[in-house]
Amino acid sequence: MSGNRFESIAQELLSSAGIVINGANPWDIQVHDKRFYQRVLSEAELGLGESYVEGWWDCTAIDEFITRIHLSKLEEKVRGNWKIIFHALKAKLFNLQTKARSLEVGKKHYDLGNDLFQAILDKRLVYSCGYWKDAANLDEAQEAKLELVCRKIDIKPGMTVLDLGCGFGGFAIYVAKKYKAKVVGINIAKKQIELANELGKGLPVEFRLQDYREVEGKFDRVVSLGFFEHVGYKNYRTHMKTVDRCLDENGIAFIQTIGGNTSKTRGDAWSNKYLFPSGMIPSTAQIGKAMEGIFVAEDWHNFGPDYDKTFMAWYQNFEKAWPELKKTHDERFYRIWRYYLLLCAGAFRSRYLQLWQIVMTRPGTEQPNVRIS
């Protein structure tokens, strides 16, 4: 197929989404390298992201560009090439989230440097979706989210809490300070754990560099915020069994996770390569199957549009911080993170992705008083 033919097909596809190549709208893309057309048609989301990182195209409002792509379901029209099939087959054949492989995401993303996350996140360093119902800024949205979780799990002074994938310890420290609970946080990102231990000094918190499958002990509450996306579909059941093993007889379990509208067995190829190795977005069916016979879903709350606002707040902070960050990071890093933050904002804005909070108890236990707002 000639280069002109690839360009013609790409123009036709993008036009159906209201996107004009070299157009004047903020969501229109400016193509600098004609190899872009063949690459994006043959490699789909991987080719689109990589060609942006390499400077083959630009766009003023990538978030709006991505929103239009999802709303028009363009990704379904460029599937089927052998590279995507290979990645899907690899995910089916191999467990990409073994204990050894799980360390990759810590090294590749979360250990990039605390200076980066301190620049873009809120004052508590919470790296998951905020709750914007009554919030005016990122700090308020994240505090509202932490408080929402505490209300849903009915946290009380003296309780023991296990925080799976604890990040920088934002939730654990909040719970320890406000509710006087004792918290154990586990994580596989060394730099996050180091900073969490520093921030949590003097509080009843313990942060461990540990795989979630190795946790022992019993806890009144078991919580994970933005961790389930790293588990992988082959381990969803293992995750639920681990929570069950660690949860006290009458305890409450809680998950906050990004969710997908359909069940998939592979993650986004670009995100897997550049940001979250072996990451995967679960569906309602996959989570439900993993819970079956172990837990009752007491409450399933979706506030996905709030992640659009959260990612845009992170992006604005990233842009403000870039003059300082570029002293230690190059232009390629800038393009990867700009694309990542705006890609995700567009995915939530289009409702391609959801954000779920799920409250779980064991069958036969008393129903908790779940309060959404």
* Catalytic sites, residue numbers: 344
Cα torsion for 164, 167, 173, 175, to the nearest 10°?
A: -40
- Given a contact cutoff of 8 angstroms between Cβ atoms, the answer to whether 263 and 288 are in contact is no
Can you tell me the distance from the alpha carbon of 332 to that of 55, in angstroms, rounded to the nearest whole number? 9
Q: Is 65 helix (H, G, I), strand (E, B) or coil?
A: helix
Q: How far is CA 162 from the centre of its chain?
A: 20
Can you tell me the distance from the alpha carbon of 32 to that of 171, in angstroms, rounded to the nearest whole number? 44
DSSP β-bridge partners for residue 206: 184
Residue 51: closest CA among 64, 62, 37, 61: 37
DSSP β-bridge partners for residue 189: none
Helical spans, DSSP H, in the chain: 3-16, 35-53, 62-71, 82-93, 99-105, 114-120, 138-152, 170-179, 190-199, 236-246, 269-274, 284-291, 305-325, 331-349
